[in-house]
Structure 1
Amino acid sequence: MAAHLGRVQQRLTALGADEDLAPAGRAHAVHGTDGFDVVLVDPADRGTVVEAIGERAERLVHRYGGCDRARSWDDLAATGVVHDRWTGGTEHLAGADLRAFAELGLVDELDVAEHQPGFLDRYGPYFRRLARAWEPVLGPAVVAEARRVLG
């Protein structure tokens, strides 16, 4: 897990992530995610994560951990709506917040695609479609990286 978290942070940095998105990459799964159910830091213990990576990065990590992917991801670029799997609530993202959230999610999956055998065979069509749908809210470097990794 530590290697994956480090690679996500490094890739985000290489792709031009800002000073809040890059550290969020290093911590993106500390509260678990909808695709990774191991909780390293209780989502209620946000202060510990704030101290480690800063307030804005922690908000991104918390949002990412709580995201109900099945209800959020397909329409994310069009609606900006993130459904929270912990509270059942929704949050509307726009601008830099939407871009950071989408880039974190996609770069996370790009790393898994490169390091988990069979991932692209099983999930490649979904992530190619998702990456194309998200292109309007992603930075050009992330779009190019998604095309490189996903084909």
Structure 2
Amino acid sequence: MTIDPPEPERPSRELGVEEAGIATVVEALAFCGANEIPHPGGTLLAHLERVHALLTEWGARPALRLAGLCHAYYGTDGFPTALGDPAEPDRLAAIVGEEAERLVRFYAGCDRGFSYPRLADPEGPFKDRFTGAVTSPPLPLRRDFAELTAANELDIMRVNPELRARYGPGLLSLFTSWKGLLSDSARRAVQTTLR
């Protein structure tokens, strides 16, 4: 099912997308079934809301916080269940804005096995799992991606001790290698959660 909620309000540019439309986004995600899809710590929607809250706590800008709220909309390399079709980006962009939608699509497209170990390299090669294309995203985009990835994984580690025991050491190593990409708040959260 894809987002097609009844007449979402267009956010005001003065207020910003998030402040004007966060309830609409949550409603749209529920409409797509995110509140019924199991996920560590409850439902996918609960996870998405916690990732959004973490990014807010870390001081992320509104577009990145909204991307956090919708990061699994197209599915991911680690969670293939999709709420929408990446070939129809206008549906998501209509409620979160174009920048947040682009971040969600970029996040969803990550071939983790290829991209994670190289993300902090000077060229940061990134492989799109949908197209197979390898690009060198600009540093600000890689920073957004790293921040969103950390928020996503740390939420899962916080709510599931078994997964933390299994994957925590590897994530600590990965996020330590990304220290130049993560905000101070994210780095502190990595240390607190994974040590």
Structure 1 runs not aligned, ≥5 long: none
Once the two structures are TM-superposed, the CA of residue 95 in structure 1 deviates from its matched residue by: 2.8
Answering whether residue 115 of structure 2 is matched by residue 72 of structure 1, we say: yes
- Pairwise CA RMSD: 1.0
Tell me the distance in 2 between the aligned counterparts of 1:91 and 1:21. 21
Residue 106 (structure 1) shift: 1.2
Q: Do residues 19 (structure 1) and 62 (structure 2) align?
A: yes
Bigger RCO (CA 8 Å, 6+ sep): 1
Q: 1:90 aligns to what?
A: 134
Instruction: Give yes or no for contact 2:124–2:136 (8 Å, CA) kept in 1.
Output: yes
Task: Give the TM-score normalised by structure 2.
Answer: 0.75
Please point out which of 98, 105, 127 is paired with 1:62: 105
Return the alpha-carbon distance in structure 1 between the equivalents of residues 156 and 179 of structure 2: 19
CA contact (8 A) 2:111 2:129 kept: yes
Q: Distance in 2 between matches of 1:67 and 1:140?
A: 24
- Measure, in 2, the Cα distance between the counterparts of 1:26 and 1:49: 12
In 2, distance between residues paired with 1:46 and 1:31?
10
Aligned residues: 151
1:36 lines up with 2:79 in the alignment: yes
What's the CA shift for 1:75?
1.4
CA-CA distance at 1:15 after TM superposition: 0.2
Q: Bigger shift: 78-87 or 103-112?
A: 78-87
Q: Using the alignment, how far apart are the partners of 1:19 and 1:3 within structure 2?
A: 19
State the distance in 1 between where 2:105 and 2:125 align.
15
> Greater share of helix residues, 1 or 2?
1
2:102 matches 1:47: no
Q: Which amino acid aligns with 2:73?
A: V
* Structure 2: 5+ residue stretches without partners: 1-43
CA distance in 1 between partners of 2:161 and 2:184 (Å): 27
Identity across matched positions, percent: 40
1:116 aligns with 2:160: yes
- Computing the radius of gyration from Cα coordinates, the structure with the larger value is 2
